[in-house]
Amino acid sequence: MEYRYKPLGVCSQEFIINMDGDTIVSVKIIGGCPGNTLAVSTLVEGRKIDEVISKLKGIDCGGRGTSCPDQLAIALEEIKKQIA
């Protein structure tokens, strides 16, 4: 199932997340730092939602209080509520 999330406080503009149950199939990050967002997307593919949330939640970028990985964790928390 495809989910879309608009991150807050970061350079990225949208996350398109494809899930199969509680497994992340793919993540496309629109905007942001291309190398970093591609790396994050690649690293989370095939992983369970809880594992990714625990690894990415709370990562800060430049003192913003959030980051693209943190926003992805927040998006996954929202998805987790929907699939529960």
> What CATH code is carried by the domain that includes residue 52?
3.30.390
Tell me the two tokens of residue 38.
């591609």
- pLDDT for the residue numbered 55: 98
Tally of domains within the chain? 1
Please report which confidence band the pLDDT of residue 84 belongs to, taking 50, 70 and 90 as the band edges. confident
pLDDT (tens digit per residue) in 8-23: 999 999 999 999 999 9
Q: CA 64: distance to chain centroid?
A: 17
Domain coverage including residue 34: 2-83
